[in-house]
Amino acid sequence: QVQLVESGGGLVQPGGSLRLSCVASEGISMYTLGWYRQAPGKQREVVAAISRGDAHTIHADSVQGRFTITSDDDKTTVYLQMDSLDPEDPSVYYCAATYRWDRAIGGNAEYWGQGTQVTVSS
């Protein structure tokens, strides 16, 4: 099965930037990849998703213009560039992979990483 490992989380001051990475255990060119986040006491929400075939992307309204999802050419890594971070952004961020775009948008992916913590504080 596909395994996903996230990295790049950490502590950043308000207005700062982080880049999250998600590395797959095998080529994932056939998958839609997504980033999700879950703050303490809150439901997990979709942050962004990318179609591996045509690079079509979506971003949540709350992060549009600040966060950008991309993938590399070898189809093994997906990134989330996070700029202008604010106190509403801290949470655990998860990477996920699925065969279907609609499952990515709905948070029903087949494969999930363990998450990486993002903390925004001065």
- The reported pLDDT for the residue numbered 75 is 65
pLDDT at residue 4, as a whole number: 92
Q: In this predicted model, what pLDDT tens digit does every residue of 65-106 receive, in sequence order?
A: 999 999 886 667 899 999 999 998 989 999 999 888 899 889
The DSSP bridge partners found for residue 1 are: none
Query: Given this model, what pLDDT does residue 17 score?
Result: 98
53: pLDDT confidence band, cut at 50, 70 and 90?
Answer: confident
pLDDT tens, residue by residue, 5-33: 999 999 999 999 999 999 988 765 557 88
Give the per-residue pLDDT at 24. 82
